Amino acid sequence: MNKVKILLIDDNVRFINNVCRYLNIVAPNYEVFTTGTGDDGLRILEKEKPDLVLCDLFMLDVDGDEVVEKAKVISPRTKRIIITAYTDEKTEERLKKIGIDDIIYKPIEDIETLVSRIKEVIG
């Protein structure tokens, strides 16, 4: 069975570590690549062509919406989920227009829900 490749991009190291630990336990068929910057994320995306990019909206170098737009060009088959604490309608509309597959809002209280949403998007 092929591993499902997931690229997790978030500048919150604690969040990345928690998600990776949990995914290793509940979804051993996932191969997770991580980075804290959008630029590194784009490099990993180009090299690995993951099945899913899970990306924070606001980061220090490149915002998630820019990463998602570039991801469509670099790896069109890659599914895209944005993670954000911003829940206003304008942001949501803008993200849907650029072609994301889902939005997950922070704080993520239940990591099981996060995994469930990942599985829904990946199919």
Please report how many Cα atoms fall inside a 13 Å half-sphere around the Cα of residue 23, on the Cβ side. 24
Tokens 């737009």, located at residue: 69
Reported as a single tens digit per residue, the pLDDT across 15-54 is 899 889 988 888 889 999 999 999 999 999 999 999 999 9
Q: Which CATH superfamily is domain 4-122 in?
A: Response regulator (3.40.50.2300)
CA distance 28 to 45: 21
Domain ranges within the chain, ordered by starting residue = 4-122
pTM of the model: 0.92
Tokens 């170098």, located at residue: 61
Reported as a single tens digit per residue, the pLDDT across 53-101 is 999 999 888 889 899 999 999 999 999 999 998 888 888 888 889 889 9
CA distance 80 to 99: 8
